[in-house]
């Protein structure tokens, strides 16, 4: 049996301490000094000692005895396997030491939504938990999850049980496991989809989440399977990205999937490598399992938490797509067919916001843009009620932190849009509102450097007021630290949180990265060398966008415009003058990757 899966080993909590000193002729000899256990070694030891998915009773016991009974290895590690993190104190990384801030007695609680598919009764259940235990507020995440805060230890087992009754789970939403498996949120209803891949998403999730063979991976592992042509689940930044393609065989149309591996962002972004493979639908689950096993069994990825993702086989250990495919074929026991030509999507929004015709006659889906993903329990309940009233009771969450209602008859569309707007869920939104993404920030995250959620709202409102006529697609992403939970590396304008000194104070600031994209013109955003105080960010973006509207060529979008200019020139457009470049100023202490997000 693989040492990283299956039955857990019984490991003492003191393993790794100094051995007993030796005795010779009545004398005690000094023991050789034990080498200090690294963070990675400690985490690997704890993971081998316990499969947290088998230890729900321990969480129940903590809830009975209270917060003081929770063991350190649970707060620092095991809770994550149940979608639970300790919550920061609102100060972020600068309030603690070693790159990690102080924790409170409260917890973050992440609910896994495979493919983003929700029923109205499920959303009402989440809204009820949110109202009772999370101070009425929740976040839609960039992996189609719903995340709550302010839960006490006493509330966690109750919330887990309540969710399970309606078919929802937190198991596998965090930790060194396969995270929520994402897919196109309009699978099965999209008029232009190549195939409905949602069944494969749900089956992959069922196969991997809670499976003891995969409870101990080197780090988190992300999977996307989509049948849509716009790749709205971002296969380019997943560990496994499967995108639907078509081929002709014996004169007949056959649908299969392209396969990409090794995508990921964080502080060292890497876009996924496409393998020379055509994956038939019946091969998808075996391929997903085999790739996950390849990752699980790479012991060299367990030595350093900063180099523990699948992408690091390519960036640190010299693997090539050809080598990976050879290993995959060895695992499968057969060779996949060669890849077919594939056209990556052009520059389009991937958020599904607005009113769209479905493949079903006379039915539409309506997408509401949820600014920075922040949603109240009243809004969730309203959306659930509206889905019942005007649709079929079905909703979807998206990777752009938005909410959709599907299966809406033509005659109900206008009424639904009015009611959503009344609830504060905009269907018609400005490019700034629609394109804004924000991570959790210092409000709740222990490794964040800046506050992001309120800042993102203020920034959008400022830009809407300053440039009301701006009508170009814009991805404006705010991330509170280098880990890119806000995905600033693939945005038009990416803002990375920093601190700068102003007088005697350290204040929030942002470093600019420009020109990131996925799809046909995929590229990682360029660090431009410009940083300013958070309060000055609207001024800088206004100068940049006014320069763009004044100097762009006809039909030239932001991605192409940015590519025409050097870093120095773009920095000058942001600053309004020629200024020297500043470094990204990465933290001197290692970023604690064990607490990074979705």
Write out the two tokens for 63: 């809830």
> 499: Cβ–Cβ under 8 A, 6 or more apart, which residues?
94, 449, 450, 506, 507, 508, 509
Its pTM stands at 0.92
Is the residue at 88 inside a domain?
Answer: yes
Same domain, 303 and 251: yes
**C-beta of residue 352 within 8 angstroms of C-beta of residue 232:** yes
Q: Annotated catalytic residue: which of 99, 373, 393, 480? A: 480
Same domain, 43 and 140: yes
> 581: Cβ–Cβ under 8 A, 6 or more apart, which residues?
528, 529, 530, 567, 568, 571
Same domain, 137 and 271: no
- For the stretch 383-423, pLDDT in tens is 999 999 999 999 999 999 999 999 999 999 999 999 999 99
Same domain, 129 and 68: yes
Phi, psi (deg, nearest 5) at residue 409: -60, 150
Give the 3-state secondary structure percentages of the chain, helix then strand then coil, rounded to 5. 35, 20, 40
Residue 476: name the closest of 467, 326, 466, 463 by CA.
Answer: 463
| Alpha-carbon distance values, 577 to 2, 35, 442 (Å) | 59, 53, 32
Same domain, 458 and 582: yes
Distance (Å, whole) CA 117 – CA 398: 9
- For the stretch 44-68, pLDDT in tens is 999 999 999 999 999 999 999 999 9
**C-beta of residue 375 within 8 angstroms of C-beta of residue 367:** no
Segment 461-469 mean pLDDT = 97
Q: Annotated catalytic residue: which of 83, 99, 241, 486? A: 486
**C-beta of residue 208 within 8 angstroms of C-beta of residue 178:** yes
Is the residue at 111 inside a domain?
Answer: yes
**Domain final residue pick, 308, 332, 356:** 332
Distance (Å, whole) CA 90 – CA 444: 6
What pLDDT band is residue 584 in, cutting at 50, 70 and 90? confident
Q: Does residue 3 register a pLDDT over 70?
A: no
Same domain, 527 and 570: yes
Same domain, 237 and 158: no
Is residue 219 among the annotated active site residues? Answer: yes
Same domain, 85 and 225: no
Same domain, 90 and 236: no
Distance (Å, whole) CA 175 – CA 178: 8
Is the residue at 19 inside a domain?
Answer: no
Q: Annotated catalytic residue: which of 50, 80, 110, 372? A: 110
**C-beta of residue 484 within 8 angstroms of C-beta of residue 447:** no
User: What is the average pLDDT value for the chain, to the nearest integer?
Assistant: 92
Is the residue at 320 inside a domain?
Answer: yes
- For the stretch 320-337, pLDDT in tens is 999 999 999 999 999 999
What pLDDT band is residue 27 in, cutting at 50, 70 and 90? very low
Listed as own residue / partner, the contacts of 419-422 with beta carbons closer than 8 Å and 24 or more positions apart are: 419/382, 419/386, 419/390, 420/366, 420/368, 420/383, 420/386
**Domain final residue pick, 122, 149, 165:** 165
Is residue 39 among the annotated active site residues? Answer: no
**C-beta of residue 389 within 8 angstroms of C-beta of residue 408:** no
**What is the structure's pLDDT at 598?**
76
Strands in 429-491 per DSSP E = 436-438, 476-479
Is residue 220 among the annotated active site residues? Answer: yes
Q: Annotated catalytic residue: which of 174, 481, 485, 513? A: 485
- The percentage of residues in the chain with a pLDDT greater than 70, rounded to a whole number, is 92
**What is the structure's pLDDT at 95?**
85
| Alpha-carbon distance values, 167 to 206, 282, 365 (Å) | 12, 26, 23
**What is the structure's pLDDT at 434?**
95
Residue 352: name the closest of 385, 398, 321 by CA.
Answer: 398
Is residue 47 among the annotated active site residues? Answer: no
Write out the two tokens for 309: 């993702």
Is the residue at 319 inside a domain?
Answer: yes
Q: Annotated catalytic residue: which of 80, 119, 124, 219? A: 219
Q: Annotated catalytic residue: which of 220, 289, 307, 559? A: 220
**C-beta of residue 595 within 8 angstroms of C-beta of residue 587:** no
Q: Does residue 520 register a pLDDT over 60?
A: yes
CATH number at 497 reads 3.30.413.10
Domain count, the chain: 3
By residue count, the chain amounts to 598
**C-beta of residue 147 within 8 angstroms of C-beta of residue 175:** no
- For the stretch 273-297, pLDDT in tens is 999 999 999 999 999 999 999 999 9
Distance (Å, whole) CA 497 – CA 366: 33
- For the stretch 217-265, pLDDT in tens is 999 999 999 999 999 999 999 999 999 999 999 899 999 999 999 999 9
Is the residue at 31 inside a domain?
Answer: no
**Domain final residue pick, 332, 353, 386:** 332
DSSP 313: H
Is residue 195 among the annotated active site residues? Answer: no
What pLDDT band is residue 6 in, cutting at 50, 70 and 90? very low
Cite the DSSP H helix spans in 245-320: 284-296, 311-315
Give the residue numbers spanning the domain of 154: 39-165
DSSP 580: -
Residue 379 pairs with which residues in a beta bridge? none
Same domain, 491 and 564: yes
Same domain, 258 and 145: no
Is the residue at 179 inside a domain?
Answer: no
Same domain, 559 and 477: yes
CATH number at 63 reads 3.90.480.20
**What is the structure's pLDDT at 409?**
98
Is residue 333 among the annotated active site residues? Answer: no
Residue 147: name the closest of 170, 168, 171 by CA.
Answer: 170
Is the residue at 29 inside a domain?
Answer: no
């Amino acid at each position: 049996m693989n040492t990283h899966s299956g039955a857990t080993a019984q490991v003492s909590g003191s393993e790794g301490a100094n051995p007993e000193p030796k005795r010779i002729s009545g004398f005690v000899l000094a023991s050789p000094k034990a080498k200090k256990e690294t963070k990675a070694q400690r985490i690997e030891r704890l993971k081998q000692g316990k499969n947290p998915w088998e230890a729900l009773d321990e969480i129940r016991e903590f809830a009975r005895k209270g917060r003081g009974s929770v063991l350190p290895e649970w707060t620092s590690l095991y809770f994550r396997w149940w979608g639970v993190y300790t919550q920061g104190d609102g100060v972020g990384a600068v309030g603690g030491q070693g790159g990690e801030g102080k924790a409170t007695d409260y917890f973050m609680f992440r609910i896994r939504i495979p493919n983003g598919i929700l029923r109205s009764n499920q959303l009402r259940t989440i809204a009820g938990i949110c109202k009772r235990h999370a101070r009425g507020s929740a976040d839609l995440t960039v992996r189609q999850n719903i995340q709550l805060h302010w839960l006490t230890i006493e509330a966690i087992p109750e919330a887990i049980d309540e969710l399970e009754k309606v078919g929802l789970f937190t198991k596998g939403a965090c930790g060194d496991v396969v995270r929520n498996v994402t897919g196109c949120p309009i699978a099965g209803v999209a008029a232009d989809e190549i195939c409905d891949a949602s069944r494969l998403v749900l089956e992959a999730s069922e196969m991997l989440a809670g499976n003891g063979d995969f409870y101990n991976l080197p780090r988190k592992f992300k999977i996307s399977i989509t049948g849509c042509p716009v790749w709205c689940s971002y296969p380019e930044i997943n560990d496994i990205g499967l995108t639907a393609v078509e081929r002709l065989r014996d004169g007949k149309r056959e649908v299969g999937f392209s396969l990409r591996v090794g995508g990921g962002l964080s502080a060292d972004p890497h876009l996924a490598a496409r393998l020379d493979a055509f994956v038939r639908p019946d091969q998808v689950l075996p391929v997903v399992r085999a790739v996950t096993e390849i990752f699980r069994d790479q012991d060299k990825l367990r030595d350093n938490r900063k180099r523990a993702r699948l992408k690091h086989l390519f960036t640190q250990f010299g693997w090539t797509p050809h080598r990976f495919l050879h290993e995959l074929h060895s695992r499968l026991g057969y060779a996949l067919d060669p890849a077919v030509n594939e056209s990556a999507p052009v520059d389009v929004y991937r958020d599904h916001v607005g009113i769209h015709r479905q493949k079903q006659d006379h039915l539409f889906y309506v997408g509401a843009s949820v600014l920075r993903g922040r949603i109240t329990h009243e809004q969730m309940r309203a959306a659930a009620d509206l889905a019942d009233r005007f649709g079929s009771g079905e909703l979807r969450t998206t990777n752009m932190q938005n909410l959709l209602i599907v299966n809406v008859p033509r005659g109900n569309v206008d009424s639904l849009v009015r009611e959503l707007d009344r609830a504060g869920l905009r269907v018609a939104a400005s490019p700034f509102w629609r394109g804004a993404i924000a991570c959790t920030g210092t409000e709740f995250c222990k490794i964040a450097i800046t506050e992001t959620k309120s800042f993102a709202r203020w920034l959008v409102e400022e830009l809407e007021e300053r440039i009301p006529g701006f009508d170009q697609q814009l991805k404006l992403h705010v991330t509170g630290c280098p880990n890119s939970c806000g995905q600033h590396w693939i945005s038009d304008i990416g803002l990375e949180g920093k601190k700068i000194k102003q007088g005697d104070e350290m204040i929030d600031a942002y470093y600019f990265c420009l020109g990131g994209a996925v799809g046909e013109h995929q590229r990682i955003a360029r660090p431009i060398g410009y940083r300013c105080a958070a309060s000055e960010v609207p001024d800088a973006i206004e100068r940049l966008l006014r320069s763009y509207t004044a100097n762009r060529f006809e039909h030239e979008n932001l991605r192409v415009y940015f590519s025409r200019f050097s870093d120095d020139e773009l920095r000058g457009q942001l600053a309004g003058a020629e200024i020297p470049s500043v470094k990204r100023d990465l933290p001197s202490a290692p970023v604690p990757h064990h607490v990074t997000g979705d």
